[in-house]
């Protein structure tokens, strides 16, 4: 274990260079442990095996908490074992306890660069060169190599949706394993497809605007306009229209406005607007 180039014992002399500087090049997983801690002894060989298996995709850096109290105190370690993952000098995620190897592997794979990332980047370059067929060929090959990659499948689905093939895009996402269905990129794309389908069925936005000009209480037209606004990235206008539909007819389209707002919230993630509009939606419903 001590001879591995991917495993480092930390102290105050090398912490900054290994973790704070080094994590700008490659993620660094810092394992806080102690000799008396039995779960630490269980976790340690698992982390070492993964560090060697991943061959430099991350560095495992070990802190003996009894010998390095200053580092331990600096990061507020109160439970052992604790593992913190650093990127660009800051901790971005952590886990505590001797987790099963499968859970640790999943934790790492959420943050580490994947081979498929390169294929997605190359496909994006092909798209910029207007080579849609070449981009799809690259992505399909990457999918064959890594069928569970949410990044690759999401890229395929985006391209299918851009070509107007929404059924194929939805089917691509549906084929992902259940664990990958929770990926934030996949969830956002699924929400986007929801609005793509509404807008596709709605007709031209100018015609919808004419309908609203003649009847401002036309909930169907306002709902369709919101979908077009989402696709035009006019998100707040879309949410205003959906709230107006919700206010005029809370049960319109079998609760369609509320479902659309929830899809938008999922698309936006941690955008500050989500909190404001979620509160307004809640107030309208209660």
Task: Just list the catalytic residues.
Answer: 37, 40
What does the alpha-carbon distance between residue 11 and residue 134 come to, in Å, rounded to a whole number?
A: 50
Reported as half-sphere exposure (CB side, CA atoms, 13 A), residue 86 has a value of 24
First to last CA, the chain: 60
Considering only the C-alpha atoms of the chain, give the largest distance between any 2 of them, rounded to a whole number of Å: 77
Q: Is there a cis peptide before residue 81, judged by omega within 30 degrees of 0?
A: yes
**Cβ proximity of 83 and 71 under 8 Å:** no
Distance CA 282, CA 154 (A): 31
Pairing mode of beta strands 28-33, 59-64 = parallel
3-class SS of residue 85 = strand
Give Cα separations from 150 to 58, 190, 243 (angstroms): 21, 12, 32
The secondary structure of residue 23, as a DSSP letter, is G
Kindly give the interhelix angle for 38-54 and 101-111, rounded to the nearest 10 degrees.
50
Q: Yes or no: say if 9 and 16 are a contact pair by the CB < 8 Å rule.
A: no
Give the SS3 label for residue 78.
coil
């Amino acid at each position: 274990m001590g001879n591995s180039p991917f495993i480092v014992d930390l102290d105050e002399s090398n912490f900054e260079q290994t973790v704070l500087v080094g994590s700008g090049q490659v993620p660094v997983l810092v394992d806080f442990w102690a000799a008396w801690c039995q779960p630490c002894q269980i976790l340690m060989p698992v982390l070492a095996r993964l560090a060697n298996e991943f061959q430099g995709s991350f560095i495992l850096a070990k802190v003996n908490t009894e010998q390095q109290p200053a580092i331990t105190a600096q990061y507020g370690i109160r439970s052992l074992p604790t593992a913190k993952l650093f990127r660009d000098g800051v901790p971005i995620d952590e886990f505590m306890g001797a987790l099963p190897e499968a859970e640790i592997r999943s934790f790492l794979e959420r943050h580490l660069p994947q081979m498929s990332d390169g294929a997605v980047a190359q496909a994006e370059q092909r798209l910029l060169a207007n080579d849609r067929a070449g981009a799809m060929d690259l992505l399909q090959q990457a999918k064959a190599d890594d069928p569970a990659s949410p990044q690759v499948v999401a890229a395929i689905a985006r391209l299918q949706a851009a070509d107007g093939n929404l059924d194929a895009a939805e089917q691509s996402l549906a084929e992902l394993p259940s664990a990958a269905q929770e990926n934030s990129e996949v969830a956002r794309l699924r929400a986007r497809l929801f609005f793509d389908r509404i807008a596709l069925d709605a007709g031209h936005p100018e015609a919808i605007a004419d309908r609203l000009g003649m009847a401002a209480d036309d909930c169907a037209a306002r709902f369709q306009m919101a979908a077009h606004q989402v696709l035009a990235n006019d998100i707040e206008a879309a949410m205003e229209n959906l709230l107006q539909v919700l206010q005029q007819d809370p049960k319109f389209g079998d609760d369609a406005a509320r479902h659309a707002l929830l899809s938008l919230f999922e698309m936006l993630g941690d955008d500050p607007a989500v909190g404001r509009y979620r509160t307004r939606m809640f107030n309208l419903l209660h």
